[in-house]
Amino acid sequence: MTSTVSFLTTKPHLVVIGNGMVGHHFVEQLIEQSGHQVFDISVFGEESYLAYDRVHLSEYFTGKGAADLAMTDGRLYDEHGIRYFTNSLVTEIDRAEHRLVLQNGETVPYDKLILATGSYPFVPPIPGHQRDNAFVYRTLDDLDAIRECANKVTRGTVVGGGLLGLEAANALKNLGLETSVVEFAPRLMPVQLDDKGGSVLKGMIEGLGVKVYTDTATKEIVAGDDAFHRMNFADGTHLETDLILFSAGIRPQDALARQSGLDIGERGGISVNNHCLTSDDHIYAIGECALWENRIFGLVAPGYAMAKAAVGHLLGHAGVTFMGADMSTKLKLLGCDVGSVGDAHAQSQGCKVFVYQDEISQSYRKMVVSEDGKKLLGAVLVGDNSYYDTLLQYYLNAIDLPDQAQSLILPTMDGAPAALGVDALPATASICSCHNVSKQDIHDAVCNGALSVADVKGTTKAGTGCGGCAALLKKVVDNELLALGVEVSTDICEHFAYTRQDLYNLVKVEEIKSFDALLHKHGKGHGCEICKPAIGSILASVWNDYVLKKEHISLQDTNDRFLANMQKDGTYSIVPRIPGGEITPDRLIVLGQVAKEYGLYTKVTGGQRIDLFGATLPQLPEIWGKLIKAGFETGQAYGKSLRTVKSCVGSTWCRYGVNDSMTMAIDLENRYKGLRSPHKIKFAVSGCTRECAEAQSKDIGVIATEGGWNLYVCGNGGMKPRHGDLFATDLDDATLVKYIDRVLMFYTKTADRLQRTSVWMDGLEGGLDYLKSVVIDDKLGLCAELEARMQHVVDTFQCEWKTTLEDEDALQTFRQFVNHDGDDNNVVFVEERDQMRPATALEKQQLIAKVG
């Protein structure tokens, strides 16, 4: 990838070496502050890809492609006249001449230089470390090589039990290998955890089938007897394995700086000051290659802060400096929560410690407090990170601890940890450390009109980095909205002082079967176009009655009322169900014949069905009579219900398919076709990770893997696109259906009126993890009920059009006029591209003029 912007310019030339996350962030910041108008900018990257999200690198093995991880497709650079060169290794800095030498021999002049060269994985110099089938875990190319090898072997071993090592072990496990971890130190994650924490984590990880060897030094790697490698340990024992992955820490990539004679730290790293300026006034260093006060910062947030400081200095903005960074971190490793805050090892002078350990549910928590017990200095969490946000805020903002400080790590009886009210946070509290957004910034954004979490994310970027602050962000935004007096009333309308979720529960628990009964018991007045369809939908979700029953008919909104989609001229479109998009030639012919007979406009929909437009009210039952006779069912395109399950042909036909996506799509569509839900629901099933069915943009997305199915939930195309979240991997058919049953019913039970799954998910306190705990771990003890409810819906499915054709009363309501046989004379069609379409107002006038 190379841009085509010309070098001819009079502006000073700024060159960025390195296009990782930090190098890219630097460019973004520079553009945001109009630096591209001051400098002529070139970016050189050694890899063949532009910047990608290395923090989420492991997701490359669980369904994400290079494009998903990409942080830019080059458009941002092109639009701002920034040249970029991938596959371009800079081999020399000629500081005297102010020019760079590239590997291909070309030279490039510079006026200002930014080194964002990152780090490289440290490979311990164990004899045999250069053997084949030994890898590091840093780039997409590394991952491609690992995957290729893993496909052929059965056993994999990670050397290094730190944060990155465990991340890599997770990747090997996901690739289906029998996985071991070998750590030199006496415990896992020696930097972040204490002995106890490390041993609890070890127990948890071993419980997942990963073998852990701590306190183990590898003496040499030689050819194995029954595996590719044999690792001989210092204590005389050994381990046979096919694949070795070195993840024993990182080292700053400072080769260029060394070559050109910049100041380097004793143990590596390019020395920088608070402006990230190196010992050369024209050269800055940022990110993992930079050494600030003898420290390397191996996290992305400090790298971003350095990028900001360098941009500030380049553009002459005083006051933006790098002053170190907090290295607290929380993450999920192999499914285990691990958190570390501040002084995790209790090394501060005179500090005191609280410890809580639960060997039954395997969790461990430690708080390090100041000698007087007033301030939190550090913490270690293993097994449950729900305590992390509160502890971090106490730590970062030096808030006085409450009297019973230990309560912050003790389990509370109702299951939720005691949270710090967001009111207690000072304005300077950092809410999102990736993008350095403070509580004050959020307050300002809300005051300037950002009235939802999504809006605040858009204006401040909070929550768009690692996403760890999502729950806290929501609380702060809600709190700010309340403070502003923005009424966050949750009443559905003036007739019911309840949320949709309350109404759902009332209907279910009190076995209420009609709107009138609910209104009489819990509402007031006579209902409106908000509560009527919402309750109509709830009644349908819970009892699955025929929606045009006498007591339900007046509740139905525009499209449900006549079981078809009203178009702008008052005619309707008809969408029969075509499960999975699979249709026989005979049925296709029937659709053609019906469309021809009634002169309908015909179009293929995005959901792989066929939409027939222009039917009048009285034509609807006639047309459906013919469709049902030919074996079609209603497609419920009019309902807040399951629309389609889009699919590819999968392993049946496709050379690349790994599973039968076609059958799965049809089965899923037939299972959920009757479900009435808070909003429409779309599914897709892809037969391999090429993802032709675009499952990640659907409410429920299923992607075939070698090991079964990966399930994605709460994606959305439409107005606010959102990628689905990976919910579970390598599921068998039965588990997949079970999880979908539960997710959909939990959504139907708890979402707001007209809330798509994506918005529902964004609003769920605890987000994806919470949904997993409800659906997979049955945290609320609801799973059996959710499944039973879904089974009821499946068992009581009826084609609403079939029922309607058998119901004389309902058919009466499809008359155009109750006292007259004519048509609506305002419905006028003209021809375009050999089909009819509604005439425009102007065309109607002209037509009437001609007739008149």
Partner 1 sequence: MAMAWKSICKQSDLVAGAGVAAMVNGEQVALFYVPESEHQVFAIGNWDPLGKANVLSRGLVAHLQDKWVVASPLYKQHFELTSGQCLEETVSVPHFQAKLENEQVYLLLP
Binding site for partner 1 (CB under 8 A): 494-495, 525-529, 532-533, 550, 553-558, 561-562, 566, 568-570, 812-813, 815-820, 822, 824, 826, 841
* 793 and 544 Cβ atoms separated by less than 8 Å: yes
Residue 654 CB neighbours (<10 A): 16
The one-letter amino acid code at 357 reads: Q
Query: At a CB cut-off of 8 Å and minimum separation 6, what does 236 contact?
Result: none
Residue 96 or 818: the one with the smaller Cβ distance to partner 1 is: 818
* Parallel, antiparallel or unpaired: strands 107-109 and 178-182: unpaired
Residue 589 CB neighbours (<10 A): 11
With vertex at residue 664, the alpha carbon angle to CA 661 and CA 666, rounded to the nearest 5 degrees, is: 110
Orientation of helix 661-672 relative to helix 733-750, angle to 10°:
40
Distance in Å, CB of 754 to partner 1, minimum: 12
Residue 278 or 559: the one with the smaller Cβ distance to partner 1 is: 559
Q: What's the rounded Cα separation, in Å, for the pair 327 and 303?
A: 11
Q: Identify the bridge partners of residue 260 per DSSP, sorted by sequence position.
A: none
Distance in Å, CB of 624 to partner 1, minimum: 18
* 270 and 263 Cβ atoms separated by less than 8 Å: yes
* 56 and 64 Cβ atoms separated by less than 8 Å: yes
* 430 and 323 Cβ atoms separated by less than 8 Å: no
Least Cα distance to 149 among 171, 123, 120 occurs for 171
Residue 73 or 491: the one with the smaller Cβ distance to partner 1 is: 491
Residue 684 CB neighbours (<10 A): 31
Question: DSSP secondary-structure letter at 288?
Answer: G
Residue 171 or 555: the one with the smaller Cβ distance to partner 1 is: 555
Residue 315 or 566: the one with the smaller Cβ distance to partner 1 is: 566
Q: State the DSSP string of 140-151.
A: HHHHHHHHHHHT
Q: Where are the beta strands (DSSP E) in 124-276?
A: 134-136, 155-159, 178-182, 211-213, 218-223, 229-233, 238-241, 243-246, 250-252, 270-272
Element (H, E) at 598: helix 585-598
Residue 361 or 812: the one with the smaller Cβ distance to partner 1 is: 812
Distance in Å, CB of 446 to partner 1, minimum: 28
Residue 653 or 817: the one with the smaller Cβ distance to partner 1 is: 817
Residue 54 or 522: the one with the smaller Cβ distance to partner 1 is: 522
In three-state secondary structure terms, 843 is: helix
The one-letter amino acid code at 679 reads: H
Distance in Å, CB of 547 to partner 1, minimum: 13
- Tell me the backbone φ, ψ of residue 786, rounded to 5 degrees: -60, -45
Distance in Å, CB of 481 to partner 1, minimum: 26
**Alpha-helix residue ranges (DSSP H) falling in 599-723:** 619-629, 661-672
Residue 501 or 813: the one with the smaller Cβ distance to partner 1 is: 813
Distance in Å, CB of 805 to partner 1, minimum: 18
The one-letter amino acid code at 127 reads: P
Buried b (16+ CB within 10 A) or exposed e, 63-102: bbeeeebbbbeeebbeebbbbbbbebebeebeeeebbbee
Distance in Å, CB of 559 to partner 1, minimum: 8
* 39 and 112 Cβ atoms separated by less than 8 Å: yes
Q: State the DSSP string of 330-397.
A: EEEETTEEEEEEESTT--STT-EEEEEEETTTTEEEEEEE-TTS-SEEEEEEES-GGGHHHHHHHHHT
Residue 561 or 640: the one with the smaller Cβ distance to partner 1 is: 561
Residue 424 or 566: the one with the smaller Cβ distance to partner 1 is: 566
Distance in Å, CB of 523 to partner 1, minimum: 11
- The structure tokens listed for 315 are 């553009």
Least Cα distance to 175 among 220, 213, 132, 137 occurs for 137
Query: At a CB cut-off of 8 Å and minimum separation 6, what does 483 contact?
Result: none
Distance in Å, CB of 839 to partner 1, minimum: 12
Residue 66 or 517: the one with the smaller Cβ distance to partner 1 is: 517
Residue 255 or 528: the one with the smaller Cβ distance to partner 1 is: 528
Residue 240 or 557: the one with the smaller Cβ distance to partner 1 is: 557
Least Cα distance to 252 among 292, 295, 296 occurs for 296
Residue 569 or 741: the one with the smaller Cβ distance to partner 1 is: 569
Residue 528 or 588: the one with the smaller Cβ distance to partner 1 is: 528
Q: What's the rounded Cα separation, in Å, for the pair 17 and 34?
A: 20
